[in-house]
Amino acid sequence: MTVTSARRVDPIAADAVGNSATEAFVQAFGYRPTGVWSAPGRANLIGEHIDYAGGTVLPFALPYVTAAAVSVRADGVVRCVSTHEEQGWEGPVDQVAPGHPTGWASYVAGVLWVLATRGLLSAGVGFDIAIASSVPIGSGLSSSAALECSVALAVAELTGLPTTEPEDRLQLVTAAIRAENEIAGASTGGMDQSVSMLARSGSALLLDCRTFAHSHIPLDPARSGAALMLIDSNTPHQLVGSAYTDRRADIDTAAERLGVASLRSVRDVDAALARLAADGGERLARRARHVLSEMRRVELAVEAMQTDNLRLVGELLSASHASLRDDYEVSTSALDAIVAAALDGGAWGARMIGGGFGGCALVLCAADREEIIAAAVAQTLAAAEHPTPSVYVASPGPPARRLQ
């Protein structure tokens, strides 16, 4: 039997990522940047597919970050390069608009466009920007929000906008959301940008997706002898766009049939589900059952975290996975196999995270089971001829900040 092990991707220290951004800056522009800022990728502990139903989610910042080395220019031009991309982009800030530029630079230019549109950038200001990152791109860990937020914080601090208070940072969050929605043309609800800007080390961010009200809930697995890891199925996301639209439509229809603005407003869950099912909406009832039960699981997870009961958090993760798999139908055989193998290996709980149809699973386990579980998962996936998984450390880290 061949022994297959998971590909472990340890986080690179943020300062080292910052140094790579500085090197890329010097190479591209021939002088040293004024400063370097970083913003993290994220994972959502629990509260999946409920943001668009007005739910409250519980994401945390990852120790994988994107760094932006930046200087101000006086000619209204932005030039940007990334260590992940062969092609940079340059153009006048005042010509950025939906559809221009396209590709990766749209995330960077989009942030400048929003700030300029709001009158927060003086006419004629421009920037040189070099990006480096340790956030896996396209794995559902939100490299896009990390990119937007590193640039937003850099530009804000370099141009004298306030950034220390949560309200200041929320301004940058909304700029990053609009950049992604309107310039990059990717639909995003705002959880990713919020946690990248507002997270705290050793905590998860309890975020109300309707109002952006938030608080910090302690989440420090190492202190309890536990570990959180992310296992990337390394399978391409399939059907994501259409399935996502279908799920959203089902949730909107369910709310409409129940006569509520969003499922968040449902008080009597059993009565609501019975009513949906009685109308011949068996599928709608299952979709709504996921959303309503997941909203409850977030509340229970917060209570469990407040009493440091990580085993109970684990049970809630596994229940979330079953609901996403059976009621919401957004899992895949590879994600199901990761979760099953992790639980067989003694994990306290595991679930797929993100939109689904690919991407990562989050595993909560005793710290001394981490490697055994990763190996068991890799074996199971190999036996089923799935791609070799990657393993990421998921310890809750700090928010966007200045590095140098």
- Which residues contribute to the site for Mg ion (CB under 5 A)? 142, 144
- Nearer to Mg ion among residue 103 and residue 162 (C-beta): 103
- Nearer to Mg ion among residue 66 and residue 144 (C-beta): 144
Residue 197 C-beta: closest distance to Mg ion, Å: 15
Residue 88 C-beta: closest distance to Mg ion, Å: 21
Tokens representing residue 183 in the block:
């310039």
Residue 363 C-beta: closest distance to ligand ADP, Å: 19
Q: Which does 66 bind (CB under 5 to 8 A by kind): Mg ion, ligand ADP, none?
A: ligand ADP
- Nearer to ligand ADP among residue 134 and residue 171 (C-beta): 134
The 8-class DSSP code of residue 146 comes to: H
Residue 404 C-beta: closest distance to Mg ion, Å: 26
DSSP 3-state of 139: coil
- Spatial neighbors of 192 by CB under 8 A, at least 6 apart, are 42, 59, 142, 144, 145
Neighbours of 60 (CB within 10 A): 25
Q: Which does 113 bind (CB under 5 to 8 A by kind): Mg ion, ligand ADP, none?
A: none
| CA distance linking residue 37 with residue 184, whole number of Å | 21
- Nearer to ligand ADP among residue 71 and residue 82 (C-beta): 82
- Nearer to ligand ADP among residue 188 and residue 262 (C-beta): 188
Strand order in the sheet with 203-208: 56-57, 203-208, 214-218
Residue 162 C-beta: closest distance to Mg ion, Å: 26
Backbone angles phi, psi at 44, to 5 degrees: -100, 115
Backbone angles phi, psi at 382, to 5 degrees: -65, -40
| CA distance linking residue 175 with residue 291, whole number of Å | 28
- Spatial neighbors of 123 by CB under 8 A, at least 6 apart, are 76, 94
CB contact at 8 A, 103 and 144: no
Amino acid at 385: E
| CA distance linking residue 116 with residue 254, whole number of Å | 39
| CA distance linking residue 376 with residue 338, whole number of Å | 9
Task: Tell me which residues are annotated as active site.
Answer: 192
| CA distance linking residue 185 with residue 107, whole number of Å | 9
The site for ligand ADP (CB under 6 A) is made up of 66, 82, 84-85, 104, 107, 131, 133, 137-144, 147, 186
Residue 321 C-beta: closest distance to ligand ADP, Å: 19
Tokens representing residue 217 in the block:
């809930």
Half-sphere exposure of 139 (CA within 13 A, CB side): 23
| Of 376, 367, 365, 316, residue with least CA distance to 340 | 376
Residue 84 C-beta: closest distance to ligand ADP, Å: 4
Cα torsion through 153, 156, 159, 165, rounded to 10: -110
- Nearer to Mg ion among residue 247 and residue 297 (C-beta): 247
- Spatial neighbors of 58 by CB under 8 A, at least 6 apart, are 44, 45, 46, 47, 204, 205, 206, 207, 217, 298, 301, 302
- Nearer to ligand ADP among residue 354 and residue 396 (C-beta): 354
